[in-house]
């Protein structure tokens, strides 16, 4: 990666404060954004060759705050089922029947598709190490949450945590986190051990919480379909278990939060934890409408994720934004874009480092074509899923898993003028 700067210019650029800038851009050096250029004059002074991207919208890459890329090979194989526990049982049943080589291929292909769709960072739950096994050369930033669970059997807690000591992946695009799977699969002993582990490392945490009403029925009363799947109920709420372990705080992303009481929303708000909503998966299970408005009113940071291909037809963040907008017309397009960029970055503990074009952030960007003349029309189109990423950069490097080379993307980088042409194409 070159340490000499270069500057990208676009018709419209999303400024770090949410304004739209006409004819501005960003200066990139050594994989990071060195400067946001709010005017044409600032672009000229930006540094290094100027790469004119033309009539595009330059955005930070989307951040999918919740994925399970290692489940990509399960696409279309597990129907929603009668209840959530029956879906889990079906998923576990299919798991052993698929060749590992196929699952790895699907994982890599899905990761590349994500990037091609303009997503440059994922908060990914890693239960198997499969993504790490296929990540060589992959230009995708990964907050990798190592999944831990003991199915409520506290005797396994020590071994489960011990396994975390091995298998960390050294890659500048990866940062580690931890994911206690859910209150119904983590024993009291494992919660206690996790509390010590997280306190020592101050690491980012993701926990599936309050996905279904059945979850609460079992956790608090030992009733409902989860009783067929699990041993004895802890007889306390999921949020109580998370809080007792010291894990209800600003470094935690709670995934789903579909079945929350008003009092729980207020507790989550006070804690600083984020809620990650996955519109495609929500639709797959035909859940009752997600109360994004109530979470917003409570002051809880919201973000969008995709969950996995086992419960979603696609992991494209453009589609997630479009689904969200369709279900939540009270959210402005700019807010919806934030749910997939800046807010999602906060949810995965990477605020200021991804999901923004601010100086100091990693240069994870995408240039989108979108219909419309004004910036507001293009924003409207992009958040309705109508944009097309023409080029995607991660850490300042143009990705090859981006759009195919016959697309207009191939022309980006050939629009610079004069002697700057060759340099501009090399860097970033």
Smallest gap from residue 297 Cβ to Zn ion (A): 25
Min. distance of Cβ 179 from Zn ion in angstroms? 9
Q: Return all residues near 341 (Cβ < 8 A) that are at least 6 apart.
A: 59, 60, 61, 62, 63, 355, 356
Scanning 290-298, 304-312, 315-323, 394-402 for contacts with Zn ion by CB under 5 A, the matching segment is 304-312
Rounded to whole angstroms, the Cα distance separating 146 from 127 reads 6
In whole angstroms, give the CA distance from residue 386 to residue 346: 25
Identity of the residue, 183 or 403, whose beta carbon is nearer to Zn ion in the bound complex? 183
Among 307, 316, 364, 380, indicate the residue that binds Zn ion (CB under 5 A): 307
Select 303 or 381, whichever has its Cβ closest to Zn ion: 303
CB 272 within 8 A of CB 299: no
Q: How far apart are CA 144 and CA 170, in angstroms?
A: 12
Other CB atoms within 10 A of residue 413 CB: 16
* Residue 167, token pair as written in the block: 């298998």
Q: How many CB atoms lie within 10 A of CB 339?
A: 30
Nearest to Zn ion of 52, 215 (CB atom): 215
Q: How far apart are CA 20 and CA 419, in angstroms?
A: 30
424 SS3 class: helix
- Measured from the CB atom, the residue of 215 and 307 that comes closer to Zn ion is 307
As a whole number of angstroms, the distance between CA 146 and CA 70 comes to 12
Stretch binding Zn ion (CB under 5 A), from 168-176, 220-228, 299-307, 368-376:
299-307
Query: Binding residues for Zn ion, how many (CB under 5 A)?
Result: 1
DSSP string computed for 78-138: S---SSHHHHHHHHHHHHTTS-HHHHHHHHHHHHHHHHHTTEEEEEEEESSSHHHHH-TT-
Our CB check for Zn ion shows the closer of 161 and 254 to be 254
Residue 303 CB, nearest distance to Zn ion (Å)?
13
- Pairing between strand 32-37 and 20-22? unpaired
Written as six digits, the tokens of 188 are 């009291």
Shortest Å, Cβ 330 to Zn ion: 26
Q: Which stretch binds Zn ion (CB under 5 A): 53-61, 150-158, 263-271, 302-310?
A: 302-310
Residue 399 beta carbon to Zn ion: minimum distance, rounded to whole angstroms: 25
Q: Shortest Cβ distance from residue 282 to Zn ion (Å)?
A: 12
CB of 140 to Zn ion, least distance (A): 18
Contact of 318 with 113, CB cutoff 8 Å: no
Q: Which two tokens stand for residue 6?
A: 């270069």
What DSSP designation does 290 have?
Answer: P
70 binds Zn ion (CB under 5 A): no
73-81, 113-121, 152-160, 305-313 -> range binding Zn ion (CB under 5 A): 305-313
Would you say 307 or 338 has its CB closer to Zn ion? 307
Stretch that binds Zn ion, among 131-139, 300-308, 379-387, 408-416 (CB under 5 A): 300-308
Residue 28 or 260 having the CB closest to Zn ion: 260
CB 255, min distance to Zn ion, A: 5
Residue 25's SS3 state is strand
C-alpha separations of 215 from 136, 182, 225, 262, 273 in Å: 38, 10, 9, 17, 20
| CB-CB contact of 186 with 196 (8 Å) | no
Q: Which is nearer to Zn ion, 259 or 307 (CB)?
A: 307
Q: Give 52 or 70: the residue with its C-beta nearer to Zn ion.
A: 70
* Part in contact with Zn ion (CB under 5 A); list of ranges 27-35, 83-91, 239-247, 301-309: 301-309
Q: Tell me if 259 contacts Zn ion by CB under 5 A.
A: no
Least separation in angstroms between CB 308 and Zn ion: 6
* Interaction residues for Zn ion, span 341-370 (CB under 5 A): none
Q: Which of 126/307 has CB closer to Zn ion?
A: 307
Would you count residue 42 as binding Zn ion (CB under 5 A)?
no
The residue sitting closest to Zn ion, measured at its beta carbon, is 307
CB of 24 to Zn ion, least distance (A): 37
CA angle (166 as vertex; 231, 245 as ends), nearest 5: 45
Site residues (vs Zn ion, CB under 5 A): 307
């Amino acid at each position: 990666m070159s340490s000499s700067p270069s500057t990208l210019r676009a018709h419209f650029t999303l400024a770090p404060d949410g304004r739209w800038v006409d004819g501005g851009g960003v200066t990139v050096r050594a994989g990071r954004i060195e400067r946001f250029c709010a005017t044409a004059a600032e672009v000229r002074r930006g540094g290094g060759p100027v790469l004119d991207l033309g009539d595009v919208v330059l955005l930070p890459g989307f951040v999918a705050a919740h994925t399970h890329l290692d489940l990509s090979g399960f696409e279309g194989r597990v129907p929603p089922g009668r209840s959530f526990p029956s879906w889990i049982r079906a998923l576990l049943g299919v798991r052993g029947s698929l060749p590992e080589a196929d699952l790895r291929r699907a994982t890599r292909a899905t990761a590349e598709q994500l990037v091609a769709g303009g997503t440059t960072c994922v908060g990914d739950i890693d239960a198997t190490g499969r993504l790490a096994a296929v990540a060589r050369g992959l230009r995708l930033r990964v907050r990798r949450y190592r999944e831990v669970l003991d199915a409520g059997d506290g005797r396994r807690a020590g071994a489960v945590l011990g396994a975390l000591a091995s298998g960390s992946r050294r890659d500048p695009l990866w940062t580690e986190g931890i994911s206690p799977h859910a209150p119904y699969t983590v024993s009291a002993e494992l919660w206690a051990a996790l509390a010590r582990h997280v306190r020592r490392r101050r690491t980012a945490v993701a926990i599936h919480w309050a996905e279904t009403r059945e979850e609460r029925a079992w956790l608090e009363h030992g009733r409902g379909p989860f009783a067929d799947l699990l041993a004895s109920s802890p007889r306390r709420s999921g949020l109580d278990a998370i809080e007792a372990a010291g894990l209800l705080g600003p470094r935690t992303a709670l995934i789903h939060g579909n079945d929350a009481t008003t009092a729980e929303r207020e507790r989550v708000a006070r804690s600083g934890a984020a809620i990650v909503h996955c519109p495609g998966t929500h639709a797959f299970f035909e859940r009752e409408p997600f109360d994004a408005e109530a979470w917003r009113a409570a002051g809880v940071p919201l973000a969008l994720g995709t969950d996995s291909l086992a419960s979603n037809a696609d992991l494209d963040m453009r589609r997630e934004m479009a689904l969200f907008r369709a279900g939540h017309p009270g959210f402005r397009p700019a807010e919806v874009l934030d749910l997939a960029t800046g807010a999602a970055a906060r949810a995965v503990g990477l605020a200021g480092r991804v999901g923004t074009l601010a100086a100091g952030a990693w240069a994870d960007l995408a240039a989108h074509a979108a219909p419309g003349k004004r910036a507001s029309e293009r924003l409207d189109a992009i958040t309705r899923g109508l944009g097309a990423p023409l080029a995607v950069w991660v850490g300042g490097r143009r990705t090859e898993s981006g759009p195919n080379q016959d697309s207009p993307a191939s022309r980006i980088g050939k629009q610079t003028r004069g002697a700057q042409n060759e340099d501009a194409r090399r860097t970033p």
